Amino acid sequence: MAKDAKDTATELPVKLGGVSIKENAKISARVDRTKLNIAKAAMLFCNARCEVQIDADGALPMGGGLGTVKSVADIKRFGTDADHYTISLVFSTGEIKVNELALLAGKEAKLTITKIGEADDTPEPGDDE
């Protein structure tokens, strides 16, 4: 029997963007479109709650580990242009070390993502659309 896509981990090289820490912690990530077709990207990223692991070797200061953040996140934004997909990973501030997430901003990383369900439909703070 074929595995449900929700049960399959996907590893992707990403370029991390900025971090926003308010009620939740949010980091953006950019994925090269050649790494994932649009149908799989839409299935994986649209309205998704996912187990994620972000590995950015050497991103944290000495003694701070390898720069790995692992938690459950909701994907609140999925966009695309001719070359990239962009997503916003939204974490509960009680579930991660926000200082470590902040240190990953702007780094190249490996994102391991497994869809486990649907995202909370609460809009992101600041989304007035």
Q: How many domains does the chain contain in total?
A: 1
CA-based nearest residue to 27, from 86, 82, 112, 67? 86
Domain holding 106, by residue range, is: 5-118
Q: What is the pLDDT of residues 94-113, one digit of tens each?
A: 888 888 898 899 999 999 99
Mean pLDDT score of the chain: 84
User: Is 51 a domain residue?
Assistant: yes
User: Is 125 a domain residue?
Assistant: no
Question: Residue 116 in contact with residue 72, Cβ under 8 Å?
Answer: yes
CATH number where 32 lies:
2.40.30
User: Is 46 a domain residue?
Assistant: yes
Kindly report the pTM of this predicted structure.
0.81
User: Is 124 a domain residue?
Assistant: no
